[in-house]
Chain A
């Protein structure tokens, strides 16, 4: 028994050391920094302990409401919902007998993979070029078709900036959803559909009672990972809009960057990072407990 414990400890030891070094230590260090007034100019000297002052400032800041709204609603909730719906639609289309009959399934898979294979930075540059005013491709097309009279600054106009950012995020990330759901769709037993047809089930009934329940575990896992990934994402908003116009598209991740590397307030930036981590931990806990435990277990 004692020998087993020793063996287990020795075997797990390297992995635990790596986890402690690369995950635990940075987290603990970030937590420590969040209680200090450390700035980039005083990195060599270190910051002074200021307790919860950074957290207090963040929570009472008039900007925090907008940051939360932008991060939760625009960047995360809407973009994840659009991604899941669009991914499901693409998967269903690619899985139709017609696409298979026309031997287009492989071509469709390759077409889906292209945006996914495009690095986010490149994707954003492409989209900026498409959306640019006055000479961007989209403006040129809309002007040529007579649909608009003057070019639209898609990434600077308050009415279009969030939909534009969401379009970029969705374009770059929907392939993962679509391909995962496509794989799950192909695992649905065909005899279930045959039995349903014999019972006179409509197309919609088959979708709601066979397809969707089969896909639910995958959707739950994809939803969870997409929320974590999107909530923490910095690159799309920063490179597409620079958090502007004004602070209109500023989200928590870009606020951390601005505070840490524009204002040089590393302590304050670390505090926002801790708040983000706590929000995600709480979200993950409730998501797991209330919605996804069984589904996640099925997938895993």
Chain B
């Protein structure tokens, strides 16, 4: 009745009203799209949240139609959280991932292939300028992420403690390192090599064990003619376990380090800063934390630190080429805007402003980085670092290998089981990983 009255007043028929409403409804989304900015979510897992927010504000200013929400996830949870979200289509648009996750996440359908976006608008100086592209590319040849930053681990030293211990030159072999650690402890009473000996699933022993195997020309996973297999035998594993166990048994690394798994644990950073630990191994961001902690506690004093390559680091590729990539979620509704953000984040200004703790993964930018005297060892080591290669390409799951290695070393180092039993168990379990996939 009211409808009839209204149409009569307006002098149009009911069909006209319905038609006008339909046209309006069809136009509305377009109007809304033009008025509302696209909102992207960027999950960035490193500590520089404030600086990154400032960079994103600049991005929003330069791209008035795009808003970016910044969110953070702890690195240890980031991988499985993203995969869980991807299964139900509730993911951030742009995601910050580790080098070795890109392939598996892409092949699982969680990351969108970037090939079309790259073709339409190539990043930086082109794909060939980015390192570790092999880790970003799936078995199907599609690119699933763009390498963003890179780093590697190096040895770090308190030069004052080395001087007191009479250690004149930085160790270049594992035996040198062992001796330097012993000397520091014997002559200063401080911790020699303060390595994280804990057995958590994502602990540091994984890196130390692999560095040791690599320096001896071995690798946990090797590839020959596209066939992957375990490349170390029981004697290799026993040798490496015994090597690290000797630090704890002799006391130059305290047993309390069995409770420390993270390379950036406050026990290590604080120990280096306050001079209770003489030698460490870590990525550059953690080393910077130690230097900053020292400088804050000793204003005006020169930081007594030096970095150097890992044992045999410059003769054999004995450290891993680590780093982060940026991926676009397969369920992102705005892949083009997300790609625009990824490109922005690869701008040289980001690495000198918002994100200084990491080195850019673009060769052209990497050459121009001023590492400074403290990071000299990292710069030297970076040129000799190796990607995980067969570890990431083969049928063995990285996370499981990491966990099993940490557990086995933890069991051996803590005395839960004998070194021999722990080594045998590790190889059996790794073998099963292959059989089970």
**Chain A residues in contact with chain B, CB under 8 A?**
40-45, 132-135, 150-153, 155-158, 242, 244-248, 258, 261-264
A262 to B412, CA, bound (A): 21
Known contacts A43-B87, A262-B403; is-contact A242 B254 (Cβ 8 Å)? no
- Is there contact, CB below 8 Å, between B109 and A245? no
Residues in chain A near residue B87, CB distance under 8 A: 43-44
Partner of A151, one of B256, B397, B399: B256
- Is there contact, CB below 8 Å, between A158 and B80? no
- Is there contact, CB below 8 Å, between A245 and B413? yes
CB distance from A48 to the nearest CB of B (A): 13
Residues in chain A near residue B415, CB distance under 8 A: 158
Partner of A44, one of B109, B198, B403: B109
- Is there contact, CB below 8 Å, between A153 and B258? yes
User: B84 an interface residue at 8 Å Cβ cutoff?
Assistant: yes
CB distance from B382 to the nearest CB of A (A): 29
User: B416 an interface residue at 8 Å Cβ cutoff?
Assistant: yes
A263 to B400, CA, bound (A): 5
Known contacts A42-B108, A245-B258, A247-B411; is-contact A158 B416 (Cβ 8 Å)? yes
- Is there contact, CB below 8 Å, between A248 and B254? no
Interface string of B232-260 (1 = CB under 8 A from A): 00000000000000000000001111110
User: B422 an interface residue at 8 Å Cβ cutoff?
Assistant: yes
Nearest A residue (CB) for B107: A41
Nearest B residue (CB) for A155: B259
**Chain B residues in contact with chain A, CB under 8 A?**
80, 83-84, 86-87, 104, 107-110, 198-201, 254-259, 261, 267, 270, 276, 397, 399-400, 403, 407-408, 410-417, 422
- Is there contact, CB below 8 Å, between B256 and A156? yes
Nearest B residue (CB) for A242: B200
A235 to B34, CA, bound (A): 48
Partner of A40, one of B84, B109, B198: B84
CB distance from A153 to the nearest CB of B (A): 4
Partner of A157, one of B258, B276, B408: B258
Which of A43, A45, A245 is most buried by chain B, counting CB atoms within 10 A of its CB? A245
| Pairs of residues from A and B, 9 with the lowest C-beta to C-beta distance, nearest first | A246-B411, A133-B256, A156-B259, A43-B87, A245-B414, A156-B258, A153-B256, A244-B199, A242-B200
Known contacts A41-B83, A156-B258; is-contact A263 B397 (Cβ 8 Å)? yes
CB distance from A265 to the nearest CB of B (A): 8
- Is there contact, CB below 8 Å, between B259 and A44? no
A244 to B257, CA, bound (A): 13
A134 to B413, CA, bound (A): 18
- Is there contact, CB below 8 Å, between A246 and B256? no
Residues in chain B near residue A247, CB distance under 8 A: 199, 407, 410-411, 416
CB distance from B165 to the nearest CB of A (A): 20
Nearest A residue (CB) for B251: A150
Residues in chain A near residue B104, CB distance under 8 A: 41
Residues in chain A near residue B86, CB distance under 8 A: 43-44
- Is there contact, CB below 8 Å, between B417 and A151? no
- Is there contact, CB below 8 Å, between A43 and B80? no
A132 to B268, CA, bound (A): 13
Partner of B414, one of A44, A152, A246, A264: A246
Known contacts A245-B199, A258-B403, A262-B400; is-contact A156 B255 (Cβ 8 Å)? yes
A225 to B201, CA, bound (A): 31
A207 to B254, CA, bound (A): 49
Nearest A residue (CB) for B428: A62
Residues in chain B near residue A45, CB distance under 8 A: 109
- Is there contact, CB below 8 Å, between A158 and B399? no
Residues in chain B near residue A244, CB distance under 8 A: 198-200, 258, 261, 407, 410, 414
- Is there contact, CB below 8 Å, between A242 and B201? yes
- Is there contact, CB below 8 Å, between A246 and B108? no
Residues in chain A near residue B108, CB distance under 8 A: 41-44
Residues in chain A near residue B256, CB distance under 8 A: 132-134, 151-153, 156
Residues in chain B near residue A150, CB distance under 8 A: 254
Question: Known contacts A134-B254, A258-B201; can you find 18 more A-B pairs with CB under 8 A?
Answer: A43-B108, A44-B109, A133-B255, A135-B267, A153-B255, A153-B256, A153-B259, A155-B259, A156-B256, A157-B258, A158-B416, A242-B199, A244-B199, A246-B416, A246-B417, A247-B407, A247-B416, A264-B399
Residues in chain B near residue A264, CB distance under 8 A: 80, 83, 397, 399-400
A244 to B197, CA, bound (A): 11
10 contacts across the A-B interface (CB closer than 8 A)? A150-B254, A156-B198, A157-B255, A157-B258, A242-B198, A245-B199, A245-B259, A245-B414, A246-B412, A264-B80
